[in-house]
Amino acid sequence: MILSIESSCDDSSLALTRIEDARLLYHIKLSQDEAHSSYGGIVPEIASRLHAKRLPEILKSVKTFLNNDMSALKAIAVTTRPGLSVTLIEGLMMAKALALSLSIPLICVNHLKGHIYSLFIERTKDSKDSKSGRESSLDSHISPRDTSPRAHQDSQPKHELSAESRQDLSIESKRDVTPDSNAPLPSPLLNPESCLPLAVLLVSGGHTQILQMNDFCHIRLVAQSLDDSFGESFDKVAKHLDLGYPGGPVIDRLAREFALAHPTALPHSFPVPLLHKGELCFSFSGLKNAVRLAIESARESAESARESTQKLHSESTAKSTESTHADSKISQKSALSPYEVGRICAGFQKSACEHITRKVRQYFMSEQAREARHFAIVGGASANSALRESLACLCAEFGKTLLLAPLEFCADNAAMIGRVGVEQYRRGDFTPLHEAQITPKSLPSDFV
Ligand code: KG4
Ligand code: ZN
């Protein structure tokens, strides 16, 4: 089996994947969302420090799973690019130390390829329905920075164990399943070859790209964002609205709730990026700024409305200086009403998704896309319900089969790195330890 390590951003994750059939045997991941939430984005130093603390703790749990016998490991796969240098290096250091001490080869994996291979993660049959149970011994080693109930929840390891594994080792599985009953079911594909050439939309916190995979070694970059990524624009809008990090899931939810609660209300209207531009590319910075301006203007309106009410109130009643002071302190924050926040979230998400859908349509109409019968959406932001819905309709219109990764493997995880690791192992694609290094961007040879 292969031990894989992912630390390209804010998720510390390890997985074990069987080489023979590429099945996922064990998966564990600790997210850092809570640690970065108050900053509205990833703080690289915090992320790096948390990886340094948590990766060894997770490794302990893997060792327990293996009964402290690491002899079954045939290679170590690790994300070496693209990502944050200070976090990638934590994973690579651990990978090198393990490869050296166990005398097994090292496999350097491109994180973006990992996202594509999240489509092909296969677990043992009954692991899918395993629900949370008793926490593993690892938990006692974790001391979350924030002790609020949510922080604790986010800091719990997410295990993926096969039924046999659970029996053997009495560690019960805990899974982080995002409810999304309307999303199409992921296709249970074990063999990536069967859906080549594959057209891919990769939407994450760092990337928005259309890729075309002709085979494992030939992935062509067809289009990408000129500025911010799709996921990043959600994070920034959420930051402006004080919704915490990551912004994608919360904006997705608020937009859905707005539509349900106000079926006849129109979302805030925002321009669709690059609407009249013919180039096949993406852009989100203009939309993000339009949303920021709308938020500022809505805050100003809320502020003046509040001031007028206060003025009327203080004129009609002899208010104490103390309470006036308290009121003005509250008004400084100029909080928007939940209705207004929902309207802005719904409008922003609508424009962002329409932009992507229009550009994917443009791609589908091109000669190069014609041969790809399968279309996949991958990356953390591929969990977006509106994007899934809209692209599912587009695929139906163009006769493409839509592939989606299981929700728990959309965001960063080591299982997808292990899946690519198996492919590279089969091809003998190893990197000598002294040559292995991290790079913040993909290598030119990664995409041809
Ligand atoms: O792939 P990922 O875990 O990390 C990177 O490789 O960047 O993606 C994380 C990104 C974050 O920007 C997060 O806000 C976004 O994915 N995201 C979403 C949703 N869920 C996560 N964006 C939009 N809608 C969602 N439901
Ligand atoms: Zn990612």
Give residue 125's pLDDT.
Answer: 56
Of 3-7, 69-73, 98-102, 315-319, give the lowest mean pLDDT range: 315-319
For the Cβ of 384 lying below 6 angstroms from any atom of ligand 1, the answer is yes
Run of H or E including 293? helix 285-316
Residue 318: is its pLDDT beyond 50?
A: yes
What is the Cα–Cα distance from 35 to 83, expressed in whole angstroms?
Answer: 18
Ligand 1 centre to CA of 41 (Å) is 12
91 contact partners, CB below 8 Å, separation of at least 6: 5, 6, 7, 8, 51, 55, 78, 79, 80
What is the Cα–Cα distance from 307 to 243, expressed in whole angstroms?
Answer: 25
Ligand 1 centre to CA of 379 (Å) is 7
DSSP notation for 119-157:
GG-EE-GGGGG----SPPGGGGG---S--SHHHHHHHS-
104 contact partners, CB below 8 Å, separation of at least 6: 73, 74, 75, 76, 98
For the Cβ of 114 lying below 6 angstroms from any atom of ligand 1, the answer is no
346 C-beta neighbours (distance < 10 Å), count: 23
Average pLDDT over residues 217-239: 97
What is the Cα–Cα distance from 434 to 443, expressed in whole angstroms?
Answer: 18
Residue 156: is its pLDDT beyond 50?
A: no
Average pLDDT over residues 143-154: 31
Ligand 1 centre to CA of 322 (Å) is 45
What is the Cα–Cα distance from 438 to 84, expressed in whole angstroms?
Answer: 9
In degrees and rounded to multiples of 5, residue 229 shows phi and psi of -95, 170
Name which of 140, 123, 125, 126 is nearest 61 in CA terms.
Answer: 140
What is the Cα–Cα distance from 391 to 97, expressed in whole angstroms?
Answer: 43
Please give the residue that has the higher pLDDT: either 187 or 16.
16
Q: How far apart are the first and last CA of the chain?
A: 29
Ligand 1 centre to CA of 378 (Å) is 10
Residue type, 352: A
Residues 229, 82 contacting (CB under 8 angstroms): no
Ligand 1 centre to CA of 281 (Å) is 19
Q: What residues have a C-beta under 5 A from ligand 2, the ion?
A: 204, 412
Name which of 236, 229, 232, 235 is nearest 209 in CA terms.
Answer: 229
Protein residue closest via CA to atom 2 of ligand 1: 380
For the Cβ of 40 lying below 6 angstroms from any atom of ligand 1, the answer is no
357-392 confidence digits (pLDDT tens): 999 999 999 999 999 999 999 999 999 999 999 999
265 contact partners, CB below 8 Å, separation of at least 6: 258, 343
Please give the residue that has the higher pLDDT: either 145 or 85.
85
Give residue 181's pLDDT.
Answer: 41
Please give the residue that has the higher pLDDT: either 428 or 319.
428
Q: Mutation test of ligand 1: which of 112, 158, 177, 204 has the most ligand atoms closer than 8 Å to its C-beta? A: 204
Strands 23-31 and 11-17: antiparallel
Query: Rg of the Cα trace of the chain?
Result: 24
Name which of 409, 414, 444, 412 is nearest 76 in CA terms.
Answer: 414
3-state secondary structure of 278: coil
Name which of 183, 113, 187, 118 is nearest 374 in CA terms.
Answer: 187
- Which residues does residue 220 pair with via DSSP β-bridges, in sequence order? 212
What is the Cα–Cα distance from 109 to 19, expressed in whole angstroms?
Answer: 16
Ligand 1 centre to CA of 359 (Å) is 20
Residues 73, 2 contacting (CB under 8 angstroms): yes
For the Cβ of 204 lying below 6 angstroms from any atom of ligand 1, the answer is yes
Q: Mutation test of ligand 1: which of 250, 384, 389, 409 has the most ligand atoms closer than 8 Å to its C-beta? A: 384
Q: Which ligand is nearest to the CA of 203?
A: 1
Ligand 1 centre to CA of 383 (Å) is 8
3-state secondary structure of 77: strand
User: Helix 285-316 vs helix 338-364: angle between axes, to the nearest 10 degrees?
Assistant: 170
Q: ω into residue 105 within 30 of 0, thus cis?
A: no
100-118 confidence digits (pLDDT tens): 999 999 999 999 999 999 9
DSSP notation for 168-184:
HH-----------TTSP
- For residue 10, give the ligand 1 atom closest to its CA: 4
pTM of the model: 0.83
Average pLDDT over residues 196-218: 97
Give residue 162's pLDDT.
Answer: 36
For the Cβ of 9 lying below 6 angstroms from any atom of ligand 1, the answer is yes
Side by side, which strands form the sheet with 208-215? 218-224, 208-215, 198-203, 374-378, 401-404
- What sign for the dihedral angle of Cα 101, 106, 108, 109? negative
Degrees to nearest 5, angle at CA 381 with 337 and 204: 120
- For residue 8, give the ligand 1 atom closest to its CA: 6
Contacts 24+ apart (CB under 8 A), 166-169: 166/130, 169/64, 169/65, 169/67
- For residue 231, give the ligand 1 atom closest to its CA: 12
Protein residue closest via CA to atom 23 of ligand 1: 248
277-307 confidence digits (pLDDT tens): 999 999 999 999 999 999 999 999 888 887 7
Q: What is the mean pLDDT of the chain?
A: 85
Protein residue closest via CA to atom 11 of ligand 1: 205
Give residue 314's pLDDT.
Answer: 74
Residues 245, 235 contacting (CB under 8 angstroms): yes
